Chains A and B, each alone.
Chain A
Amino acid sequence: MSPETRRARVILGATCYLDAEGAIRVAVEIARQIGADLHGVLVADEAIMAAASTPRARCIGFGGAQVIEVTAARMEAAFRADARRFEQQLQRAAQAASLATAFRQMQGRLATALDQGAGAGDVLIYGFSRDPGSTDCVALVVGAAPPAPRLAALAAQLSQKTGKPLLIFAPPGIGGPDVITCDSPEALLARLERHRPAAVIGAAPRADLPPVARLLDAARCPLILPATSPEGDS
């Protein structure tokens, strides 16, 4: 199958089921909008496995309770369990939206895992669980060049669906009523942290963006990026 005839994919990746669940609705919406298949990837992040392998490895439950015994084996088992739940939920959501779906579990780094096997036209979503009530906007990060129409449209759709205003984070020189100027990657991260987005759509060239992990840390919301393609996005 040539890249031109292959259906586009929305690839949702996460390091835990909670983050995957937090972004499934966005992923389904985007897949429906662009007529893509819905794929899911649970990444058994190397960093997490390494952390779990340390002698004093500990976890704090998402509710605040301390998990005493953390080992690599237990973490692997937890990854497998989350993978099953992720896959089930993905299939349910895809069936409800009449979307084709696929799922895989892999090891590696979340930041780079989704790019592996992704092609032109694909949309990558890095999952993150966040209470929608604690968000203020949908963020579109653009570069010096105008953003791809598809991505701009996507951002507008998400803004409408969530009921949150669309804010454009742009480098200096780009003006507008909803434009927030960020003159450096650090400034962008700081502003993203302050504005509490419900989702971040990265329409700028990947090289102009901070690393995925940093973006996730700062925005603490699902991150939507086009797959890297030598031809660029259309």
Chain B
Amino acid sequence: MNDPTDPVHPAPLPAAALCMPVSAAEFDFATTADLPAETGWLGQDRAVDAIRMAASIRHGDFNAFVLGMPGTGRHRIVDAILKEAAATRARPNDWVYVNNFETPHKPTAIELPPGIGTRLRKAMEALVDDLANAIPALFESEDYQSRRNTIEQGFAEAHEEAMSALFERARARNVAILRTPMGFTVTGLHDGEVLTPDKYEALSEAEQEKVDTAVDEIQDALGEILKAAPAREKDHRRQVEELNYEMARAGVEDAIADVTATLPEIDALRAYLETVRADLIENAQIFLIRDDQMQGGPFPGATSKHYTRPQFQRYAVNVIVGDGGADEGGGAPVIRESLPTLGNLIGRIEYASEMGALVTNFTMIRPGALHRANGGFIVLDALHVLSEPFAWDALKRCLRTGEISIYSPGERLSLVSTVSLDPDPIPLRTRVILVGERMHYYLLSALDPDFAHLFKLEADLDDHLPDDAGARQGFARMIGTIARRAGIRPLDPGAVAAILREATRLAGDAERLTLNTDTLSDILREADHWADGNGHDAITPCDIETALLERERRASRIRELSHESITRETVLIDTDGAAIGQINALSVLQVGGYAFGRPSRLTARTRMGGGKLVDIERETELGGAIHSKGVLILQGYLAATYATDMPMSLWASLVFEQSYGGVDGDSASAAELLALVSSLAEAPIDQSFAITGSINQFGAIQAIGGVNEKIECFFDICAARGLTGRQGVLIPAANTKHLALRRRVIEAVESDRFRIIPVAHVDEAIALLMGSRAGARDADGAYPDGSINARVEARLRGFADARRAFGRTMNEQGGKS
């Protein structure tokens, strides 16, 4: 049936063309242990340069998004580059929150040189401890007691002297001052006795007047003395306060001077210490509050940690960034936040419950990852950030404003209106690196107008590396490095060659090597396991092959069930003989991370009609959009290739037999066209073949995906039934470079038991499958007699004639009746 000398028939591919031609002889090392370690990242120059730029550029809005396929080493590359860059940078400044004595709900942020934050905290704790001992001693000192007594004496004397003088005057004026329930009563005396009304009336007018005048005088004077008491009391208090202030100031200033001497001259720090000084002097009495528990403990009061007591919390220092001590190694921070919730990112304000109410202060401000990364780098997983409520919004806000403001989700939604803390925002000087998949990047670019402004650098990791000069040697070094890093056996040259072939399989291209280092590492580690069992010192090709087979075996339960349904003839697939309007199409399924092929019987039926091509898959809504597009394209080919001078009078139906799960993609459109042509030309199709390829309106067969899986699935069916030597798969010529077939197929091709035939045009496929040439129009526009195309066109003309005749008959019958 097939004429191998016919130039229309393309030749089958040799075995050498079915996978990457690589052998162990290309490598001149004993094992990969002899190779130097890979210091860079093979094939990732574009992305690496972008990340390096993000690490070094000084402009704040050049944050980076690292995108690529998972497994290509995005995180590892980012970590290595950032760590290298961070080591060359100076350690960033410390940030602390301290009490704002005037408005306590607006804590003050102070930037300090590295290490000074902790030093300030400890200095303030020591200050409080010192004053807790010094101030009580000051107020118990002889000096203070003496001066206080002087004030008290002076106050008491003033009043008593006035009262004494008054009482003396009263006695001299014959007036008595009596103490009564209603207050002081001033009354006249007569012969040492209080004047009764009778005795008063018995006095002469002059004497009465004298008594009255004396009583009034003494009464007024008494009133004056008593009214002066509050003013005197106020002055007494003022003098006591001034004394206390003076004593406190002496103690505080000495202590503050000690603190100031240990800290650098920074304006903000000096200003803060000045407010501390003023507050300490004003509130010195808090140091006089005795805590009996502290006094009664095993340690004497003088060595107790006074700074932990609640009344001294106002002098604490909350080190937000930098609480690691001056001994920490230099360099900028590289922070990776694995749970980027709103609070973990921008920090949070904590609350404590006291007597049923929630209270907080500046000591309860907790830093977020952005704080810890300030002056350095922060690496975030894009999906995690986008998944956490308000996290993405907060990150953008911080980058836009250049500040880290702390708020809660409740405040963000304006659900909380109670007064909380409003701390000074801390300037953000951090480079943000987002790591994610390409889909995340493209969605953000399309839908978030802020994204492009804030993340100007894209570090797009390549999925694969071209197999050009030097690539294989570089790849071998990379493999050796992976093995070294994983702590496994080195590979011998044959294993390296095997891994290279597998790398092309993973890339889906014989001329490309995958850069999915995670998957390569998994394979190597599994191969190491098999090498261990086999007692090998180095990983051999056999270990690699075993690892690959075992990986496939683990994942192939569904594939085997599909295969079994065919070999048990539940699903009907012919692998020999011929049939009109029936062809073996090939599709690929992805279940989890495993892809496998599956052959399908595609059939076409044709008859006269009104030009309708029924795609049963589309009609039943089992066909996807791309599948439908393929069917429409082949309709275009039909309409433009055959009987173009008359209406298309064809009715045809196409279906994937026994397919109930839906189909998409156009990789079967060539098979559909061939089935139609077969049905129209009534030319049987050789069932020894399967075909895959999409068709355009000019009949050219175009590349498709999953070519390796599709070939292997048909091969496995044929092999299960016994290879006849006739069987094979027609593939698009453009897919030849994507071939990375398994050993079993290559061996069958080598022994001429199976064929892989590349085709570029539907006419080549017609000749191979139907045993006759398709035929080309001659100068008169006619197809050669007996050619498939001539037969198709003749059939279509026949449909058109029959339809015209039918129409005339109907008209005649209609006219007669």
Contact surface of A with B, Cβ cutoff 8 Å:
15-19, 45-48, 50-64, 66-67, 70, 74-75, 78-79, 81-82, 128, 131, 133-136, 193, 196, 217-218, 220
Most buried by A among B152, B179, B180, B181: B181
Pairwise interchain contact B178-A64, C-beta atoms closer than 8 A: no
Shortest Cβ-Cβ A-B pairs, 7 listed: A64-B226, A134-B156, A51-B187, A78-B181, A64-B227, A47-B194, A82-B181
Please determine whether B164 and A58 come into contact, CB atoms closer than 8 angstroms: no
Task: For B156, give its contact among A55, A58, A196 (CB under 8 Å).
Answer: A196
Q: B183 to A61, Cβ gap below 8 A?
A: yes
Indicate if the CB atoms of B180 and A75 lie closer than 8 Å: yes
| Given pairs A15-B179, A75-B182, 4 additional interface contacts (CB within 8 A) | A54-B196, A56-B215, A61-B182, A64-B224
Does the CB pair B179–A51 fall under 8 Å? no
B164 touches A47 (CB 8 A): no
**Range class of the B interface residue count:** 35 or more
Contact B163 A220 (CB under 8 A): yes
B27 at the interface (CB under 8 A from A): no
Tell me the chain B residues, 160-189 only, with Cβ under 8 Å from chain A. 160, 163-164, 167, 171, 176-187
A54 B197 Cβ-Cβ under 8 A: yes
Kindly state the separation between the CA atoms of A53 and B199 in the bound complex, as whole angstroms: 12
B212, CB-defined interface residue at 8 Å: yes
Q: List 10 A-B contacts (CB under 8 A).
A: A48-B185, A52-B185, A55-B197, A60-B184, A60-B186, A60-B223, A63-B226, A64-B227, A64-B229, A81-B181
> Closest residue of chain B to A83, judged by CB?
B181
A63 to B183, CA, bound (A): 9
Cβ of B163: which chain A residues have Cβ within 8 Å of it?
Answer: 220
Query: CA separation between A82 and B227, bound complex, in Å?
Result: 24
* B222: Cβ under 8 A from any A Cβ: yes
The answer to whether B229 touches A58, judged by C-beta atoms less than 8 angstroms apart, is: no
Given A45-B178, A47-B178, A193-B164, answer yes or no on A59-B185 (Cβ-Cβ < 8 Å).
Answer: yes
A47 to B212, Cβ gap below 8 A?
no
State A196–B155 Cα separation when bound (angstroms). Answer: 13
Contacting pair B181 A47 (CB below 8 A): no
Q: How far is the CB of B105 from chain A (nearest CB, A)?
A: 40
A81 to chain B, nearest CB (A): 7
Q: Inside 8 A of B181's CB, which chain A residues have their CB?
A: 15-17, 75, 78-79, 81-82
B312 within 8 A of partner (CB): no
Q: Are B226 and A57 touching (Cβ within 8 A)?
A: no
Residues of B within 8 A of A (CB): 152-153, 155-156, 159-160, 163-164, 167, 171, 176-187, 193-197, 200, 212, 215, 219, 222-229
The CA-CA distance from A222 to B361 in the complex, in Å, is: 52
A15 to chain B, nearest CB (A): 6
Partner of B194, one of A51, A58, A131: A51
Given A50-B197, A55-B197, residue A62 in contact with residue B184 (CB < 8 A): yes
- The answer on a CB contact under 8 Å between B194 and A50 is yes
Docked pose: A31 CA to B230 CA in angstroms: 35
Alpha-carbon gap, A134 to B154, bound state (A): 9
Contacts A51-B187, A55-B197, A59-B185: A18 and B226 contacting too (C-beta < 8 A)?
no
Q: Whole-angstrom distance from the CB of B233 to the nearest CB of chain A?
A: 10
Q: In the complex, which residues of chain A have a beta carbon less than 8 angstroms from the beta carbon of B224? A: 64
For A217, the closest partner residue in chain B by CB is B167
Measured between alpha carbons, how far is A58 from B186 in the docked complex, in Å?
7
Which chain B residues lie closer than 8 Å to A17 at the CB level? 181
**A133 CB, min distance to chain B CBs, angstroms:** 6
- The CA of A191 and the CA of B598, in the complex, are separated in Å by 126
A-B pairs with beta carbons under 8 A, tally: 117
Q: Is the CB of B180 within 8 A of A15?
A: yes
Q: Which residue of B lies closest to A16 (CB)?
A: B181
On chain B, the residues within 8 Å of A15 by CB distance are: 178-181
Q: Contacts A51-B187, A64-B229 given: A70-B194 contact, CB under 8 Å? A: no
Q: Which residues of B contact A133 (CB under 8 A)?
A: 152, 155-156
Residues of B within 8 A of A135 (CB): 156
Residue of B nearest to A44 (CB): B181
Q: Which of A51, A61, A218 is in CB contact (< 8 Å) with B178?
A: A51
Smallest beta-carbon distance A167→chain B, Å:
16
Chain A residues in 8 Å Cβ range of B187: 47, 50-51, 54, 57
- In the complex where A53-B197, A54-B197 touch, is A48 in contact with B178 (Cβ < 8 A)? yes
Chain B residues whose C-beta falls within 8 Å of the C-beta of A59 in the assembled complex = 180, 182-185
Please judge, given known A-B contacts A50-B194, A64-B226, A64-B229, whether A16 and B152 are in contact too, CB under 8 Å.
Answer: no
| Best-surrounded residue of B171, B180, B224 (most CB of chain A within 10 A) | B180
Contact yes or no, B195 A62, CB < 8 A: no
Contacts of A128 in B (CB 8 A): 179
Q: Shortest CB–CB separation between residue B191 and chain A, in angstroms?
A: 13
A53 to B196, CA, bound (A): 7
The reply to whether B183 and A60 contact each other, CB–CB distance below 8 Å, is: yes
What residue in chain B is nearest A79 (Cβ atoms)?
B181
Kindly list chain B residues whose C-beta atoms are within 8 Å of the C-beta of A217. 167, 171, 177
Closest to A58 in B: B219
Other-chain contact of B182, A78, A193, A196 (Cβ < 8 Å)? A78
User: Once the chains bind, are A58 and B185 in contact (CB under 8 Å)?
Assistant: yes
Q: How far is the CA of A78 from the CA of B187 in the complex (A)?
A: 18
With A and B bound together, what is the CA distance between A67 and B178 in angstroms?
Answer: 14
Q: Complex formed: what's the CA distance from A216 to B523 in Å? A: 110
A48 contacts across to B, CB distance below 8 A: 178, 180, 185, 194
Q: Report A-chain residues with C-beta under 8 Å of the C-beta of B164.
A: 193
Determine if A67 and B182 form an interchain contact, defined as CB atoms under 8 angstroms apart.
yes
Which of the residues B179, B225, B226 comes within 8 Å of A16, measured between beta carbons? Answer: B179
Q: Within the assembled complex, what's the spacing in Å between the Cα atoms of A52 and B177?
A: 12
B160 touches A64 (CB 8 A): no
Q: In whole angstroms, how far apart are the Cα atoms of A15 and B177 in the complex?
A: 13
A110-B215 Cα distance, complex, nearest whole Å: 22
Report the bound CA distance from A187 to B531 in whole Å: 121
The winner among B153, B159, B183 for most chain A CB atoms within 10 A is B183
Kindly state the separation between the CA atoms of A196 and B163 in the bound complex, as whole angstroms: 12
Tell me the bound Cα distance from A61 to B223 in angstroms. Answer: 8
Candidates B155, B160, B183, B212; contact of A62 at CB < 8 Å = B183
Contact B178 A60 (CB under 8 A): no
Complex formed: what's the CA distance from A130 to B229 in Å?
Answer: 14
Assembly CA distance A169 to B224 (angstroms): 33
Instruction: Given A47-B178, A48-B185, A193-B164, answer yes or no on A64-B194 (Cβ-Cβ < 8 Å).
Output: no
A52 and B219 contacting across the interface, CB-CB below 8 Å: no
With both chains docked as a complex, state the minimum distance between the C-beta of A116 and any C-beta of chain B, in angstroms: 19
| B155 partner residues in chain A, CB cutoff 8 A | 133-134
Task: For B167, list chain A residues within 8 Å (CB).
Answer: 217-218
Contact (Cβ within 8 A) B180 A57: no
Complex CA gap A13/B618 in Å reads: 117
* CB-defined contacts of A53 to chain B, threshold 8 Å: 196-197
A134, B179: Cβ atoms closer than 8 Å: no
Whether A70 and B185, one on each chain, are in contact in the complex, defined by CB atoms closer than 8 angstroms, is yes
User: Which residues of A are found within 8 Å of B227, using beta-carbon distances?
Assistant: 64
Closest to B226 in A: A64
Residues of B within 8 A of A78 (CB): 180-182
- A50 & B195 in contact (Cβ 8 Å cutoff): yes
Q: How far is the CA of A54 from the CA of B212 in the complex (A)?
A: 11
Known interface pairs A52-B185, A58-B185, A63-B226; A196-B160 also in contact (CB < 8 Å): yes
Q: How many Å from the CB of B486 to the closest CB on chain A?
A: 84
The CA of A149 and the CA of B310, in the complex, are separated in Å by 52
Known: A18-B179, A62-B184. A54 touches B200 (CB 8 A): yes
Q: B182, A70: Cβ atoms under 8 Å?
A: yes
> Chain B contacts of A45 at CB under 8 A?
178, 180
